A and B are shown apart, each in its own frame.
Chain A
Amino acid sequence: MEIKSPKDFWSGVMFVAFGGGMATIAVLHYQMGSAVRMGPAYFPAVLGAILAILGLVLLVRSVTLKGEKVPTFHFRPLLFILVACLAFAYTLKPLGLTGATLLLIFISAYGGHEFKWKEVAILYVVLIIFSVLVFVKGLTLPFPICPDVIEDFCRF
């Protein structure tokens, strides 16, 4: 069988996976109850089942009707942006806002098409000053500004 519509095919796969997956988890772990007195599994099971069915419809369609190809995945920007976000999240406490933002900006900028060290550095300085002023001082969000190790020397 030839896949005539890759977009439909993969959408179908996604729907079947999510729908079927969640319905199965629901039925296995939570109580269904009855239609009259629904348990926690009822709604997700029914919805998941319908989603899975729609996924099957798409799968069938993908082998019968001609559709578009899935545009190429560009893994480079995807990876860099996501890693940048994760780096920020998990270094905020140990490295403070200054360190985490540094990682975020440099990693995400590197994932783009033009990377000029000086430019990115200036952008970093501007953004960190703005962020400290607006978020930490202005809105009093409780972010540590400096890395843990030099915390005692950092009295902003």
Chain B
Amino acid sequence: MRAWLAAGRRLATAAALAAAAVPALAQSWPAKPVRIVVPYPPGGPVDISARLLAPKLQEAFGQPFIVENKPGAGGNIGADFVAKSAPDGYTIGMGAIATHAINPALMANVPYDPVRDFRHLALVVQVPNVLVVNNDLPAKSVAELIALARAQPGKLDFASGSTGSTGHLAGELFKQMTGTYMVHIPYKGAPPAVADLLAGRVHLMFDNLASALPNVRAGKLRALAVTTLKRSSALPDVPTLDESGLKGFDMKTWWGLMGPAQMPADIAQRLAAEILRAMDAPDVREKLRAMGMEGSSVRTPEQFTAFVDSERRLYAQLVKRSAAKPD
């Protein structure tokens, strides 16, 4: 009997010590390198922004932040990996509009819930899409384009970087709102699409700003409108689609850092604060702006979660209405 009591006391002490250690563990975070999972191949804009942030975070927290690329399935593999990773604060990753809003709407069996399986830390980048047309197209404004499309239904081709991309969906929404019919021509990535647009084999494209900017600035393509509610600081003279008659049109590509849902709250708060600080650093801001990317207006994790939820619902609706399913 006494042996039991003694054992029980020892167990209780051990448990108390262990319990005391848990907050100590959290306080000692990060005690080893943190990994930032990027669900896309190296070199793309999401990857580059992660690599821009990593050294800043390393400076702030004193441990290396290592970018790990886990590409595949339109980003789903990497996103799923983060959702299912150990919630100890050592794995975070980039979630993008594709992985958290569009794919769940477009694909039947996405293995995660974009809102519930993640703790959303900070929205890092927002990029508008811009409606660009080939210079030889007789349309100098959105109104003229709509008139042209109505006069010759099915004659215009609009290119996109892939089926289900923001470029594609923006085009579908445009068609819906203007009641026009244009043929969608998907490509494998934006560059070949832009090449055909330059050559005049396709007529228009809702390309993302970063990719379209150089050609617009060089006068090789004509920008008719941007897809966000506010005008882009990179192209201040280009009206928005909202201004051009498509009221309420607001689409942008975005991505941000997230961790698994059960990640400790205080670690999440520290990360979120530091990420925002890194994003505000002038050199990071400048580099991003040079690529046409704006920082975000979403400043807290709660706002981010709300944002992801609203985006998810927006695209679920859009996809359903336009029946833009992979056939």
Q: Could you say which residues of chain A place their CB within 8 Å of the CB of B68?
A: 142
One of A31, A140, A151 near B327 (C-beta < 8 A): A31
Rounded to whole angstroms, the CA-CA distance of A142 and B32 in the bound complex is 13
The answer to whether B324 has its CB under 8 Å from any CB of chain A is no
Interface size class on chain A is under 10
Interface bits A139-156 vs B (CB < 8 Å: 1, else 0): 010100000000110000
Query: Nearest-CB distance from B233 to chain A (Å)?
Result: 34
Query: Nearest-CB distance from A44 to chain B (Å)?
Result: 16
Residue of B nearest to A40 (CB): B327
Rounded to whole angstroms, the CA-CA distance of A31 and B6 in the bound complex is 72
B327 touches A142 (CB 8 A): no
Rounded to whole angstroms, the CA-CA distance of A151 and B32 in the bound complex is 10
Q: Could you say which residues of chain B place their CB within 8 Å of the CB of A142?
A: 35, 66-68
Q: Could you say which residues of chain B place their CB within 8 Å of the CB of A39?
A: 327
Residue of A nearest to B36 (CB): A142
Q: Could you say which residues of chain A place their CB within 8 Å of the CB of B32?
A: 151-152
9 residue pairs of the A-B complex, CB under 8 angstroms, read A31-B327, A39-B327, A140-B66, A142-B35, A142-B66, A142-B67, A142-B68, A151-B32, A152-B32
Q: Which positions in B face A, CB cutoff 8 Å?
A: 32, 35, 66-68, 327
**Known interface pairs A31-B327, A142-B67; 7 further A-B residue pairs with C-beta atoms within 8 A, sorted by A's residue number:** A39-B327, A140-B66, A142-B35, A142-B66, A142-B68, A151-B32, A152-B32
Q: Which positions in A face B, CB cutoff 8 Å?
A: 31, 39, 140, 142, 151-152
Interchain residue pairs A-B with the least CB separation, the first 9: A142-B68, A142-B66, A31-B327, A142-B35, A140-B66, A39-B327, A152-B32, A151-B32, A142-B67
